[in-house]
Amino acid sequence: MLNIVVLVSGGGTNLQAIIDAASSGEITNTRIAGVISNNKNAYALERAKNHGIKSLSISPKDFASRAEFNKSFLEAVDGLKPDLLVLAGFLVVIPPEMIERYRNRIINIHPSLIPSFCGTGYYGLKVHEAALARGVKVVGATVHFVDEGTDTGPIILQKAVDVEKGDTPETLQRRVMEQAEWKILPQAIDMLANGKVKVESGVVKVVEDDN
Ligand code: GRF
């Protein structure tokens, strides 16, 4: 059984996709041990409560220094005994000590086809504004392991989505969420829960079924 902790900051639609996939059996061998948000008003926390999932909020704003936050944040995460941390729209920098302790056990969903439109400053609507400004015809989402960089860890899954005539950043964001994020994040969790993913020389290899 894979114990996962989902880290959120906003509406929690990706968290909801994980909850729904676990309920429907699309994700197997997995238990959501808790949800942590830096934003006490995040609707994602409501979603967790609605499903009886332990949730807590902890913010850098509540601490005198980032170092003190990082220490308490790590203690809160460790306390839930996760096998995997899932960043689902989490907007706080992951402390280096957490990345070290959970090496190749932290995944993130990014709303572009990495290496496009990623890295510092590329989050939320900004990603889709940049894609429309560049005039790309295809966008998408990526699930990747988290390392010390920003959106730089080994890529696990990607899914492409067409840009459509008349798209605004908002309509494009919604389509990428519906057609890509909400599908590949649960899929990646199920793959990890069932030993289908390994990292070789910084590249993810998907283990095919023997049959
Ligand atoms: C999603 O667009 C995701 O790609 C990005 O942050 C947003 C989170 O949305 N990382 P939600 O909180 O899951 O609805």
Map residue 7 onto helix, strand or coil: strand
Q: Quickly tell me which residue has 């572009």 as its tokens.
A: 112
CA of 210 to the centre of ligand 1 (A): 34
- Would residue 112 be called left, alpha or beta, if left means φ above 0 and alpha means ψ between -120 and 50 degrees? beta
What 123-129 contacts at long range (C-beta under 8 Å, 24+ apart), as own/partner pairs, is 123/91, 124/89, 124/173, 125/169, 125/170, 125/173, 127/173, 128/169, 128/170, 128/172, 128/173, 128/176, 129/169
pLDDT of residue 211: 57
Overall residue count recorded for the chain in this entry: 211
CA of 100 to the centre of ligand 1 (A): 24
110 is catalytic: yes
The closest-lying atom of ligand 1 relative to the alpha carbon of residue 42 is: 12
The closest-lying atom of ligand 1 relative to the alpha carbon of residue 44 is: 12
pLDDT in tens, 24-67: 999 999 999 999 999 999 999 999 999 999 999 999 999 999 99
Selecting among 51, 110, 128, 144, the annotated active-site residue is: 110
Residue ranges, the chain, pLDDT below 50: none
* Torsion of the alpha carbons at 143, 26, 177 and 156, rounded to the nearest 10: 10
pLDDT of residue 210: 65
Kindly give, in sequence order, each residue whose CB lies less than 8 Å from that of residue 11, ignoring residues fewer than 6 positions away: 42, 43, 44, 89
Q: Judge contact between 51 and 22, C-beta under 8 A.
A: no
What global pTM score does this model have? 0.96
**Ligand 1 residue neighbourhood (C-beta within 6 Å):** 8, 10-14, 44, 88-89, 109, 111, 124, 177, 181
pLDDT of residue 110: 98
Which of 181, 183, 185 has most ligand 1 atoms within 8 Å of CB, for mutation?
181
Q: Judge contact between 81 and 74, C-beta under 8 A.
A: no
- Is the preceding omega at residue 186 within 30 degrees of 0, hence cis? no
CA of 162 to the centre of ligand 1 (A): 19
Residue 18: closest CA among 58, 57, 53, 65: 53
pLDDT of residue 209: 72
How far apart, in whole angstroms, are the C-alpha atoms of residue 159 and residue 17?
16
pLDDT of residue 208: 80
Quickly count: other Cβ atoms within 10 Å of residue 167's Cβ. 17
Which of 13, 106, 143, 179 has most ligand 1 atoms within 8 Å of CB, for mutation?
13
Environment class of 34 (CB within 10 Å of its CB; exposed 0-12, middle 13-18, buried 19+): buried
The closest-lying atom of ligand 1 relative to the alpha carbon of residue 141 is: 4
How far apart, in whole angstroms, are the C-alpha atoms of residue 149 and residue 153?
7
Residue nearest to atom 6 of ligand 1 (CA): 89
CA of 15 to the centre of ligand 1 (A): 9
Q: Judge contact between 158 and 117, C-beta under 8 A.
A: no
